[in-house]
């Protein structure tokens, strides 16, 4: 967008670095659809190691990873239990209904995460009247919840409850590595007990394209059938896979910097009049501007004129996401631009 110097709209705004582009240019490639791309093969093996999974498949996007996983787990008329704020509820164009014929039963969790008791209450008793509860879906981190990290014991209790009811488990790990870096808990520990888990490479990890869906061998075999069916099977995808491998080597630990920047931003915003900042676990800062007398859209427009972009997720709830392309030095600029907007100063 013209004139935007600092783009906090999303961590998808990262652009591949010069070193990442070199790794892409030099990638060893083959025909991915035939299983002959050595770089994709290495990437999938690497993600299996990371997540403690049996098998994995490279996909063009995280949305495709969620939708394929739902197709693998659910039959028409089945129900998915997920937090009411989940990406599959709000941002996938109705895919669970349109593609898998599945319903979603939303749980009103706290900050995007729910408890084992919440889950138990949402599971349908066996009855010919009710949809069949089939799948439990969690987001690690919970995006609209505020970049919330699921505590490991709470996640384990949810997994145990799902297993006790014979339900499948799917993890939307768009920002799983943010949770890993923030908590120090290994990715495989978070993934334990889940049938399918995926990682997004095009968010904070800084790649242009790519997600890897991992899980049990039979689920990934079925996922491949869907990938083929909906046109997600690729050719010389190693160009993209090389970026993902580069990101695993160079862009994971640095997520801590994004988290520190998010906290710095939250502290600065909290000091402004009329603004209520939500807790910050990782790289996402939500704040409510109802007390300023302005709408989120109006504030976003005025910030954009000052070269700063962030999104209004509801009429008064704004979101700023830190990432690779937002250096620490940009944060004080963002805070002072917001302070100017709230004081009604001209740019
Ligand atoms: C971005 C996002 C997705 C979708 O990923 P894409 O790669 O953009 O399709 C899914 N879930 C969550 C929580 C996300 O933030």
Mean pLDDT of the chain: 97
Q: Which two tokens stand for residue 104?
A: 């979603």
Angle between helices 62-73 and 217-229 (to 10 degrees): 110
Q: Which two tokens stand for residue 340?
A: 């100017």
Residue length of the chain: 347
Q: What values do phi and psi take at 113, rounded to 5?
A: -125, 150
* Nearest-CA residue for atom 2 of ligand 1: 174
Q: Examine the pLDDT at 345 and tell me if it is beyond 80.
A: no
Q: Is the CB of 145 under 6 A from ligand 1?
A: no
pLDDT of residue 2: 73
Which of the 8 DSSP states describes residue 292?
A: G
Q: Examine the pLDDT at 347 and tell me if it is beyond 60.
A: no
CA 294/CA 291 separation, integer angstroms: 8
Q: Is the CB of 141 under 6 A from ligand 1?
A: no
pLDDT of residue 80: 98
CA 219/CA 149 separation, integer angstroms: 26
CA 88/CA 72 separation, integer angstroms: 15
CA 37/CA 201 separation, integer angstroms: 18
Q: In terms of C-beta density within 10 A (0-12 exposed, 13-18 middle, 19 or more buried), how is residue 310 classed? A: buried
**Domains in the chain: boundaries:** 16-250, 254-343
Q: Is the CB of 63 under 6 A from ligand 1?
A: yes
Which of the 8 DSSP states describes residue 33?
A: G
Ligand 1: centre distance to CA 127 (Å) = 34
pLDDT of residue 158: 98
Q: Examine the pLDDT at 346 and tell me if it is beyond 70.
A: no
HSE-up (13 A, CA, CB side) for residue 232: 23
Q: Examine the pLDDT at 344 and tell me if it is beyond 90.
A: no
Asked if the domains at 16-250 and 254-343 fall in one CATH topology, the answer is: no
Q: Which two tokens stand for residue 62?
A: 């995280």
Ligand 1: centre distance to CA 2 (Å) = 25
CATH topology (fold) of 16-250: 3.40.640
pLDDT in tens, 115-163: 999 999 999 999 999 999 999 999 999 999 999 999 999 999 999 999 9
pLDDT in tens, 22-79: 999 999 999 999 999 999 999 999 999 999 999 999 999 999 999 999 999 999 999 9
pLDDT in tens, 77-123: 999 999 999 999 999 999 999 999 999 999 999 999 999 999 999 99
- The listed CATH number (3.50.50.60, 3.90.1150.10, 3.40.50.300, 3.40.50.720) that belongs to domain 254-343: 3.90.1150.10
The candidate with the shortest Cα–Cα distance to 187, out of 265, 85, 255, is 255
Tell me the average pLDDT across 193-218. Answer: 98
Q: Is the CB of 102 under 6 A from ligand 1?
A: no
Q: Examine the pLDDT at 1 and tell me if it is beyond 80.
A: no
Ligand 1: centre distance to CA 329 (Å) = 27
Instruction: Tell me if residue 106 falls in helix, strand or coil.
Output: strand
Q: Is the CB of 200 under 6 A from ligand 1?
A: yes
Q: Which residues of 195-228 are buried (b: 16+ CB within 10 A; e: fewer)?
A: bbbbbbbbbbbbbbbbbbbbbbeebbebbbebbe
Ligand 1: centre distance to CA 271 (Å) = 31
> Would you report the helix, strand and coil content of the chain in percent, each value rounded to 5?
45, 20, 35
Which of the 8 DSSP states describes residue 240?
A: H
Ligand 1: centre distance to CA 62 (Å) = 5
């Amino acid at each position: 967008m013209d004139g935007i110097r600092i783009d906090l709209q999303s961590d998808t705004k990262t652009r591949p670095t010069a070193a990442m582009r070199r790794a892409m240019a030099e990638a060893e490639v083959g025909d991915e659809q035939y299983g002959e791309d050595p770089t994709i093969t290495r990437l999938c093996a690497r993600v299996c190691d990371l997540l403690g999974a049996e098998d994995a498949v490279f996909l063009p996007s995280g949305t495709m990873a969620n939708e394929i996983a739902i197709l693998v787990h659910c039959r028409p008329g089945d129900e998915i239990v997920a937090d009411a704020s989940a990406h599959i509820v709000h941002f996938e164009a109705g895919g669970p209904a349109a593609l898998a014929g599945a319903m979603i039963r939303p749980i009103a969790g706290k900050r995007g995460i729910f408890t084992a008791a919440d889950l138990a209450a949402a599971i349908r008793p066996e009855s010919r009247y009710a949809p069949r509860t089939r799948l439990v879906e969690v987001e690690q981190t919970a995006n609209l919840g505020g970049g919330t990290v699921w505590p490991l014991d709470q996640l384990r209790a949810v997994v145990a409850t799902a297993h006790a009811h014979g339900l499948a488990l799917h993890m939307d790990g768009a920002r799983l590595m943010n949770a890993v870096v923030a908590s120090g808990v290994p990715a495989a520990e978070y993934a334990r007990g889940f049938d399918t888990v995926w990682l997004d490479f095009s968010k904070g990890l800084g790649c242009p394209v790519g997600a890897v869906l991992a899980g049990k061998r039979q689920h990934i075999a079925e996922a491949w059938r869907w990938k083929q069916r909906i046109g997600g099977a690729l050719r010389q995808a190693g160009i993209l896979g090389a970026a993902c491998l580069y990101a695993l080597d160079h862009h994971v630990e640095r997520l801590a910097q994004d988290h520190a920047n998010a906290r710095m931003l939250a502290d600065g915003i909290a000091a402004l009049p009329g603004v209520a900042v939500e807790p910050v676990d990782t790289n996402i800062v939500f704040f409510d501007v109802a007390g300023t007398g302005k709408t989120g859209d109006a504030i976003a427009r005025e910030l954009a004129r000052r070269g700063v972009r962030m999104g209004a997720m509801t009429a008064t709830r704004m979101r700023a996401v830190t990432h690779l392309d937002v250096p620490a030095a940009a944060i004080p600029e963002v805070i002072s631009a917001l302070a100017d907007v709230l004081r009604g100063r001209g740019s």
